[in-house]
Homo-oligomer: A and B are copies of this chain.
Amino acid sequence: MLRGFGLTSGSLPGRQASLTDVAVLAGVSHMTVSRVVNKTGPVSAATRAKVLAAVEKLSYRPNSAARALVTGKSGILGVVTLDSTLYGPASTLYGIEHAAREAGYSVTITSVGTPNSSAIAEAIETLRRLAVEGIVVIAPHAAASKSLEGAPLDIPLVAVGGGQEAPVPMIAVDQADGARRATEHLLALGHKTVWHVAGPVDWLEAQDRETAWRQTLKRHRVRAPRIIRGDWSSRSGYAAGQALAREKDLTAVFVANDQMALGLLRAFTEAGIAVPKDVHVVGFDDIPEAAYFSPPLTTVRQDFIEVGRRTFRQLAEQIDGREPAARDLVPAELIVRESTGPR
């Protein structure tokens, strides 16, 4: 059995069958075949049957290049993404791909190693050359966001996670909301203050989380300790943990992502600091592993699938010529686990 691969007994003339080939076999004009294939225009039942038989026999497949040429629509969306396996970007990508495929679009990706202006511009240019109908830039990066300021206006474009003042329509999880929830959760547990291990300065999400943390502390009239900065990696979280272990008034830490929190926990364990007994820790992202850290991590969940879905919708609206909302924030959710449990 050739399970649905369409490699039936049809002759193999060395190249794909075209509309005309089908038309000749079915004894009709190529336009009639086109009408059957695309279900446009009226075709009698008898003719349709003949055509479909011929289509099957030749395992005809429409040529998307020809169709794109004449219609001006490629049916392709482009996604610019980081070439990392960071949980957020990867999840978002699948969210977009899923929504796009359901709507009949294909998704082409172009990854960038470091999201600086020229790399992003180049990636966008590459995608445009492919005649994509719209572009998503997943690059929650200051430089990336900045590079979009001069972005082409003649093609639908959406940014994902692009900070407060993105120059193009943007979808993101509400970072400030999540960071506020995390910080207030810790304050509500009675801590005098909350330390923060931040992400890289040039990441907008890191900035947003840091700002919200600082504002929350201020609103509660609490002095903010000095900040420790990591690069999202567990390694940097480990280093941060070693640094924090030397602080004496340390009782609560809000870490900007779960991977760093893992490194932090490891460093604390080595330093003899018990979590949650001595220190409470909150992460960000809720990666699938977070529930199995030692101890299980309280963290802020981001619904990346929903982000992907809304991103596609936003793009589709632009493509269809409707004026979309400029910003769309997906709320965050606090997931409480043992790392902020009873002491």
- Chain A residues with CB under 8 Å of chain B are 1-7, 12, 15, 61-66, 68-69, 72, 74, 76, 83-85, 87, 90-91, 94, 97-98, 101, 106-111, 117-118, 121-122, 124-126, 128-131, 147, 150-154, 233-235, 237-238, 259, 262-263, 265-266, 269, 288-289, 291-294, 296
Contacts of A74 on B, CB cut-off 8 Å? 64-65
Contact in complex: A5, B61 (CB < 8 Å): no
Contact of A291 among B235, B269, B289 (CB under 8 A): B235
Known contacts A76-B108, A76-B130; 16 further A-B pairs (Cβ under 8 A): A2-B150, A3-B117, A4-B125, A7-B154, A61-B128, A61-B129, A63-B69, A64-B131, A65-B66, A85-B94, A101-B110, A108-B108, A234-B289, A235-B291, A266-B293, A266-B294
Contact in complex: A64, B130 (CB < 8 Å): yes
Contact of A288 among B110, B234, B291 (CB under 8 A): B234
Closest residue of B by beta carbon distance from A234: B292
23 A–B contacts, CB within 8 A, in A order: A1-B150, A3-B150, A4-B121, A5-B150, A6-B125, A7-B150, A7-B154, A64-B65, A65-B66, A65-B131, A69-B69, A76-B130, A85-B91, A97-B111, A98-B111, A101-B111, A106-B108, A106-B130, A108-B108, A109-B109, A238-B292, A265-B294, A289-B289
Residue from A4, A98, A233 with most neighbouring chain B CB atoms (10 Å): A4
Contact in complex: A7, B152 (CB < 8 Å): yes
- Docked Cα-Cα span, A237 to B289, in Å, equals 11
Number of copies: 2
- Docked Cα-Cα span, A5 to B124, in Å, equals 8
- Docked Cα-Cα span, A153 to B43, in Å, equals 34
A-B CB proximity, top 9 nearest: A65-B68, A234-B292, A65-B69, A4-B121, A2-B150, A266-B292, A83-B94, A85-B90, A263-B292
Closest residue of B by beta carbon distance from A265: B294
Contacts of A129 on B, CB cut-off 8 Å? 61-62, 64
Closest residue of B by beta carbon distance from A90: B85
Contacts of A4 on B, CB cut-off 8 Å? 118, 121-122, 125
A66 to chain B, nearest CB (A): 5
A164 to chain B, nearest CB (A): 22
- Docked Cα-Cα span, A91 to B154, in Å, equals 33
A176 to chain B, nearest CB (A): 25
- Docked Cα-Cα span, A332 to B3, in Å, equals 35
Q: A107-B108, A130-B64 are in contact. Are A5 and B121 (CB under 8 A)?
A: yes
Contact in complex: B154, A12 (CB < 8 Å): yes
Contacts of A234 on B, CB cut-off 8 Å? 288-289, 291-292
Contact of A97 among B98, B109, B237 (CB under 8 A): B109
Closest residue of B by beta carbon distance from A87: B85
- Docked Cα-Cα span, A5 to B76, in Å, equals 20
Contacts of A6 on B, CB cut-off 8 Å? 125, 152
Contacts of A128 on B, CB cut-off 8 Å? 61
A89 to chain B, nearest CB (A): 9
A264 to chain B, nearest CB (A): 9
Contact in complex: B125, A5 (CB < 8 Å): yes
Contacts of A76 on B, CB cut-off 8 Å? 108, 130
Contact in complex: A131, B237 (CB < 8 Å): no
